[in-house]
Amino acid sequence: MPLKTPEEYLESIKRPVNLYMFGEKVEDFWNHPIVRPSINTVMKIYELAQMEEYQDLMTAKSHLTGEKINRFTHIHQSTDDLIKKVKMQRLLGQKTSCCFQRCVGFDTANALYSITYEMDKKYNTNYHERFKKYWIEVQNQDLMVDGAMTDTKGDRSKRPKDQPDPDAFLHMVKENDEGIIVRGAKVHQTGFLNSHRAIVMPTLRLREGEAPYAVSFGIDTNAKGITMIYGRQSCDTRKMEEGKLDIGNFKYGGQEIFVVFDDVFVPKENIFMKGEIEYSGELVNRFAGFHRQSYGGCKVGVGDVLIGAAALVSEYHGTEKSSHIKDKLVEMIHLNETLYSCGIACSSLGFKREAGNYEMDMLLANVCKQNVTRFPYEIGRLAEDLAGGMICTMPSQADFNSKEVGHLIEKYLTTCEGACAEDRYKVLRFIENLTMGVASVSYRTESMHGAGSPQAQRIMISRQANLEDKKKLAKNILEID
């Protein structure tokens, strides 16, 4: 079946949903000025998959059907697949300079593929066959799938079963021969509104007595009982103003959704985990590993654009030949390529699971994400340094276009020969957008909290580091018994 075109994708998401923004219900969300840039970003994925020059990165051959598919629906079959995933994510970051919203579902599918196989082997269930059937539909229809993990968590000093409100963690409330009914909420849902489907998973390792919370399933994002509330971001209402210069990245954008599940029915054939608490933690770990690998690609691509903008504004200021300017750009490049190196390294050292799919090296994936919690902040700081104070004190586009004062702004914003005031304005607003505005949510803040907080990676690094073997190395050299 052919890959979806951008236009076909756009038509496929024009469906009724229960969406709220600024306290009001939103109809025809695909036309809303705050939502539309995030849709443009997803459309770019479908566009690049159609282009011959990007076929090797953007598409793959399905091991389930033998058909050509979008790589975002692929189950990794080699370390080469893992490497191409990271390269594809860097490419998309370069093309959109924002979060492109498809990584979470991609990483969820690859984690669930091996987990369902192992659960079936132990419990004689049929989760793996269910999942394969479900995922073949995703591949054949070229669907966008979100991955829904993060619960609201309530009182974080208490376990899910001890919460004053049991809905603080999404859980199963009823079950019958046809399926289950679930209740709860998932937050920080990247691209949920723009997705056709979502795969829900637990958010942490569960214990005895918490079986109702150990659920994983596939669901249509417009299913009955699902309410979406659009996440607020800094400077987002600039997209509703006349003109586009004040937006910064006026073409593309990310999206975060607060999703409420109010007694949502899940058919039996779409359930991939139901009460198997001992596999909940491993599902979380494997998903987190895949997603931490992803940050070695996507954030690097956005970093490439930010570095380019910082270099460009230095030219506009006439400072590009100064040694300290060159040194700061070199430092930005060094940090960015270090992140990429980690993404490639954890992919290159990937291994084959019993289910047949490939997984990245868990230790290096966590090292990759630990670096991502730090380096984009320094890259952003250096970009702000090179941009200068005008980045946060510039007049509005309305003033720039004003008959009364526009000519004054143009006169005094003009710098060196060949750099017009409007181009300088665009680049400064773009850097503002990436470091302080809407895009900073997906670049800096998501670098900190996406795929788990910094402490989550440090815990995994501690578990994977194998200190006992390292102590033996020292003992062997020192001849200590």
241 labelled catalytic: no
What are the residue ranges of helices labelled H in 164-276? none
424-455 burial string, b = 16+ CB within 10 Å, else e? Answer: bbbbbbbbbbbbbbbbbbbbbebbeebbbeee
Catalytic residue among 118, 276, 432, 446: 446
* Helix axes 103-123 and 277-317, enclosed angle (nearest 10): 160
3-state secondary structure of 321: coil
Catalytic residue among 73, 96, 99, 340: 99
Q: Are the CB atoms for 224 and 260 separated by under 8 Å?
A: no
Q: Are the CB atoms for 48 and 91 separated by under 8 Å?
A: yes
416 labelled catalytic: no
103 labelled catalytic: yes
Count, in order, helices (H) and strands (E) of the chain: 17, 14
446 labelled catalytic: yes
368 labelled catalytic: no
Catalytic residue among 96, 190, 203, 373: 190
3-state secondary structure of 267: strand
d(C-alpha 322, C-alpha 451), whole Å: 39
53 labelled catalytic: no
Catalytic residue among 113, 117, 252, 295: 295
Catalytic residue among 256, 276, 384, 432: 256
Nearest C-alpha neighbor of 330 from the set 368, 379, 291, 281? 379
Catalytic residue among 9, 46, 76, 103: 103
235 labelled catalytic: no
291 labelled catalytic: yes
d(C-alpha 415, C-alpha 424), whole Å: 9
Q: Is 391 left (phi over 0), alpha (psi -120 to 50) or beta?
A: alpha
Catalytic residue among 9, 196, 279, 298: 298
Span between the terminal Cα atoms of the chain, in Å: 64
Catalytic residue ranges: 99, 103, 190, 256, 291, 295, 298, 446
